[in-house]
A and B are shown apart, each in its own frame.
Chain A
Amino acid sequence: MKKFITGNEAAAIGAKLARVKVISAYPITPQTTIVEKLSEFVANGELDAEYMKVESEHSALSACIGAAATGVRTFTATSSQGLMLMSEIMFVASGLRLPIVMTNVNRSLSAPLNIWCDQQDSIAVRDSGWIQLYCENNQEIIDSTIQAFRIAEETLLPVMVCFDGYILSHTTEPVDIPEQDEVDKFLPPYKYPYSLDPEHPVTIGAVGVPDFYEEFRYMLQKAMLESRGKILEVGQAFNKQFGREHGLIECYRSDDAEVLLLTMGSLSGSVKEVVDEYRGHGERVGLVKVRTFRPFLAKELAEALSNAKAVAVLEKDFSPGSTGALFSDLSGALANAKKSPLLLNFICGLGGRDVSVNQIREAAKAAMEAAKTGEVKEAVRWLGLRETMVGLKP
Chain B
Amino acid sequence: MNQISEEELLAPGHRACPGCGNVLAIRYALKALGKNIIVCAPTGCMEVVTTPYPETAWRVPWIHVAFENVAAVASGVQAGLKKLGKRDIKVVAIGGDGGTVDIGLQALSGMVERNDNVVYICTDNEAYMNTGIQRSGSTPFAAWTTTTPVGKVKRGEDRPKKNMLAIINAHGAPYIAAASIGYPFDLIKKVKKAASIEGSTYIHAHCPCGPGWRFDSSKTIEIAKLAVLTGIWNLYEIERGEFKLTFKPPKRRPVADYLKVQGRFRHLTDEEIAEIQRMVDEECKRLGIE
Chain A residues close to B by CB (< 8 Å): 21-22, 24, 48-50, 52-56, 58-60, 62-72, 74, 88-89, 92, 96, 196-198, 200-209, 212
Contact = CB atoms under 8 A, between A and B. Distances in A.
B199 to A, nearest CB: 15
B53 A206 contact: yes
B56 A198 contact: no
Interface in B47-102: 47-48, 51-54, 56, 58-66, 68-69, 71-84, 86, 89
Contacts of B89: 198
Given A63-B76, A71-B80, A209 B53 contact: yes
B106 interface: yes
B110 interface: yes
B37 A198 contact: yes
B147 interface: no
A65 B66 CA distance: 11
A53 B84 CA distance: 19
Given A58-B68, A58-B69, A92-B66, A53 B114 contact: yes
B84 A72 contact: yes
Contact of A50 (B59, B62, B83): B83
A1 B82 CA distance: 33
Interface of A is mostly: mixed
Interface of B: 35-38, 40, 47-48, 51-54, 56, 58-66, 68-69, 71-84, 86, 89, 106-107, 109-110, 113-114
A55 B106 contact: yes
B47 A207 contact: yes
Given A196-B38, A207-B48, 18 more contacts: A21-B80, A24-B79, A50-B79, A52-B79, A55-B107, A59-B75, A62-B69, A63-B76, A66-B72, A67-B83, A70-B38, A70-B80, A70-B84, A196-B61, A197-B61, A206-B51, A207-B47, A207-B51
A55 B63 contact: no
Q: Top 8 A-B pairs ranked by shortest CB distance? A: A66-B76, A70-B80, A63-B76, A55-B110, A59-B72, A205-B64, A62-B72, A67-B80
Contacts, number: 153
A66 B61 contact: no
Of the candidates A50, A64, A70, A72, the one having the most CB atoms from chain B within 10 angstroms of its own CB is: A70
Contacts of B84: 70-72
B80 A66 contact: yes
16 contacts: A22-B80, A24-B76, A50-B83, A52-B79, A55-B113, A56-B107, A58-B69, A59-B75, A66-B72, A67-B76, A67-B80, A69-B76, A74-B76, A200-B61, A203-B51, A206-B54
B65 A205 contact: yes
